Amino acid sequence: MRQVPRTVWLLSAGIFANMVVSFTFVYLFVYLTGERGLSVASAGLIAGVGGVGLIAGNFTGGWFGDHFGHRRTLLAASVVSGLGLLTLTALPTPALLVVLPLCQYAAGAVRAANSTLVAAAVPPGARRQGIAVMRFAGNAGFTVGPPLGALIATQFSYGWLFVADGVGTLLFAAYAAKVLKADPSPAKRAAAAAGGPGVWQSLRARPALLVLLPAIVVIDTVYRQQYSTLPVFLGDHGIGTGVYGALMAINGGVILCLELPAAVALRNQAPLRIIGAGLVLVGLGYAALLPGAFVWAAVAMMVLLTAGEILYKTPATAYVADCAPEHLQGRFQSLYAGASVSGTVLAPAVGGAVYQAAPGLLWPLCAGLGLLAGAAVLLAAAPGRVSRGQQSPLVGADQVARDQQLAPVDGDRGQLRGDGLPVGPAVAGVAAGELALGDGHV
């Protein structure tokens, strides 16, 4: 963990504090149907539009960072999101269809900017650890947040949750402005991008990414069934909400305890193989429900699902960062960020439709899709397939990124892993990281 810069730890501390008060995602539907008095259909429409805004922000936020600076994008999007949340409870209901997607779009852009800043700050050989620190902070904050939100809603009202979320987001912007160094000048960004390829050309030169990103969309849709159809399935079979709450506690507790150590322990292993294994475990998790609605099956499902999440989420984020040319780092991170939250909209819609039409088909379908996604990534990790992809023509900054990935690193004798990235800790990219987040280590 010594290679993780001090400012990544500081930024992660801010992410933790911001996630503690990020109540909107959890309590929006209850607020709309309760204090607003909306029907379930109307509340679903507003929440769904907000979810589309969140995905759009994740997919496109990196473009703003690559063009205007990732720190600047983070600060601007945080201010937009915070101010919007502060006004949410005072707005008429029709205005929510505009303001809520705007807030969620900005929140998605913040998420993409956070990942990009961490990816740019940490040397390629330590990116998994840096991403794991950021995810640990976010997961820890989200673990504390919902119970705190329930207390606030009980003592005051649900409306105060959005005020707290807005104030917390604005405070995060002020904190980030203090701990993040200024972005590189526009001239430096233009020089880095000069002669470099575009996003599509860069993706075509990295065929494994063209497999990984769709696989992440599929697995996120499968993974997030635990938040939508799983509680319905358990309830329909007489298993109470207490069991479901215990399953969520297993998920959160195991991730907090094991994700960071796992990232350190597996840091020198080929990322695509780890990611593929994680996707397979998610599929096997839903296969555990095939015998029927039993508590032991649900516990087995959650253990496998959590193990899969630990294996794939951090390495996938770091792998995309390692593959990105410097001038496209934000857009590459946005592609992954958008893919990794696509299930927030797709999972309830697809899973709900399947469960309503053919309840017995849902879990075999989830298991099959998870296994197929994992198999596709594992196949993409095959040395022959990766080497063919690396023979694609590369120019400009993309050639520099390829040279960094293929150059021998002290102690590894120039060996390549099965996915084409060097074995052992790499040292390239420190200068770019210091520009983004400052120097210093803990």
CA–CA distance, 381 with 385 (Å, rounded to integer): 7
Which domains, from first to last, does the chain contain?
6-388 (1.20.1250.20)
Neighbours of 342 (CB within 10 A): 22
pLDDT tens track for 313-350: 999 999 998 888 888 888 999 999 999 999 988 988 89
* pLDDT of amino acid 187: 59
* pLDDT value of position 193: 58
43 with 93: CB under 8 angstroms?
no
Quote the distance between the C-alpha of residue 197 and its chain's center. 25
Element (H, E) at 435: helix 430-437
Q: How many CB atoms lie within 10 A of CB 56?
A: 16
pLDDT of 288? 96
Tell me the two tokens of residue 8.
């990544």
Give the pLDDT score at 17.
93
The amino acid that residue 119 corresponds to is A
For 197, residues 6+ apart whose C-beta sits below 8 A from its C-beta are 205, 325, 394, 395, 396, 397, 398
Find out whether 266 and 315 touch, Cβ atoms under 8 Å: yes
Q: Which residues does the chain have with pLDDT short of 70?
A: 1, 184-195, 383-442
For residue 167, what pLDDT is reported? 94
pLDDT of residue 191: 57
The predicted model scores a pTM of: 0.79
| CA 296 – CA 252 distance, rounded (Å) | 18
Question: What residues does 416 pair with on adjacent strands?
Answer: 422
Residues in the chain: 442
**CA-to-CA separations, 364 to 21, 83, 361, in angstroms, rounded:** 37, 44, 6
Q: Please report the pLDDT score of residue 108 as a whole number.
A: 93
pLDDT tens across 161-216, in order? 899 999 999 999 999 999 998 776 665 656 555 567 788 888 888 999 999 999 99
Are 60 and 191 within 8 A, CB to CB?
A: no
